[in-house]
Amino acid sequence: MSTPILEIRDLHKSFGGVAAISGVSLRVQPKETLAIIGPNGAGKTTFYNMLSGRMPPTSGQVLLEGRDITGLPPHRISRLGISRSFQINNIFPEMTVRENVEVALTAFYGQSKRWYNLYSNNTEIQLKADVLLERLALLELAHQRAGTISYGDKRLLEIAVVLATDPHVVLLDEPTAGMTPDETKRVTALVKKLAETGEYTFLITEHDMEVVFSLADRIMVMHRGQCLVIGTPEEVRQNREVRVAYLGEEE
Ligand SMILES: Nc1ncnc2c1ncn2[C@@H]1O[C@H](COP(=O)(O)OP(=O)(O)OP(=O)(O)O)[C@@H](O)[C@H]1O
Ligand SMILES: [Mg+2]
């Protein structure tokens, strides 16, 4: 096996003495898509918060490409190559779709949003924006104001903004939450294509099992802050404990 791109060692997080994550260890291989499933409150978002630097763990370690990044602030971790989406929309509604992507790119390549107007005719930024808009099937909407596009397209724009930081590891938190079945299919197909570019390692939390089973190379099942099972979709599907605890089967 190659060196893991991401290694988590015995991670713990408690809030005022209440354990949200208790002893998660994990090795993620480069280019893999790992789905993280588990009931509400299992600790999925808290886990992401520690990987992205939003919250320091109570104990344990996070290694990115062999480098200890535990407890670094979010901007440092994002520079080092882990980028995340949120369960809620995180875009500027007054700006166009294209401007949202260009602002994210401009910020990443060294200028603040304040300087965006000066840099908005930078061809390199424009070319990169084109690639991202194309990859998320948003080119046709590029000139619309972000606040006016559909919910599904907003979530796609959010992914484009996440990818603007040129991440190696992308954390998606419930990318299809609240979507219609058609929007869900569209987003799933686009994420699948992104994974197939071989440029990203994806961690995806998701409640929709169809999405999980169609995207994941491996699945980690979280339960009460622990990893209940990790394995291929087939292994997880066959696992009795998972079938009873999570997929809703009778004992
Ligand atoms: N900032 C916080 N302060 C206190 N408790 C928290 C905080 N964040 C999360 N928790 C608790 O940690 C546990 C795990 O929550 P978390 O949001 O990580 O679950 P989740 O698996 O993402 O759930 P969902 O599927 O609903 O998004 C829950 O019991 C939650 O109440
Ligand atoms: Mg969550």
Write the DSSP string, 184-235.
HHHHHHHHHHHHHTTS-EEEEE-S-HHHHHHH-SEEEEEETTEEEEEE-HHH
Q: State in Å: Cα 40 to ligand 2 middle.
A: 7
pLDDT of residue 7: 98
Residue 206, ligand 1, Cβ within 6 A: no
Nearest Cα neighbor of 25 from 70, 66, 74, 60 is 60
Element (H, E) at 6: strand 6-15
pLDDT of residue 248: 65
pLDDT of residue 123: 81
pLDDT of residue 124: 83
What is the spatial distance between Cα 124 and Cα 111, in angstroms, rounded to a whole number? 14
Residue 151, ligand 1, Cβ within 6 A: no
pLDDT of residue 108: 80
Model pTM score: 0.91
- Label residues 122-156 b or e (16+ Cβ within 10 Å = b): beebeebbeebbebbbbeebbeeebeebeebbbbb
DSSP state of 130: H
Q: State in Å: Cα 213 to ligand 2 middle.
A: 19
pLDDT of residue 130: 95
In the three-class reduction of DSSP (H, G, I as helix; E, B as strand; rest coil), residue 96 is classed as strand
Query: Which residue positions in the chain have pLDDT lower than 50?
Result: none
Residue 46, ligand 1, Cβ within 6 A: yes
pLDDT of residue 192: 96
pLDDT of residue 106: 86
Residue 45, ligand 1, Cβ within 6 A: yes
Domains, the chain: 1-78+203-251 (3.40.50.300)
pLDDT of residue 32: 97
pLDDT of residue 2: 75
pLDDT of residue 200: 97
pLDDT of residue 94: 95
Residue 38, ligand 1, Cβ within 6 A: yes
Q: Which of 45, 176, 204, 206 to mutate to test the pocket of ligand 1 (most atoms within 8 A of CB)?
A: 45
Residue 181 has phi, psi (to 5 degrees) of -55, -40
Q: State in Å: Cα 192 to ligand 2 middle.
A: 21
What is the spatial distance between Cα 230 and Cα 78, in angstroms, rounded to a whole number? 26
pLDDT of residue 241: 81
pLDDT of residue 115: 56
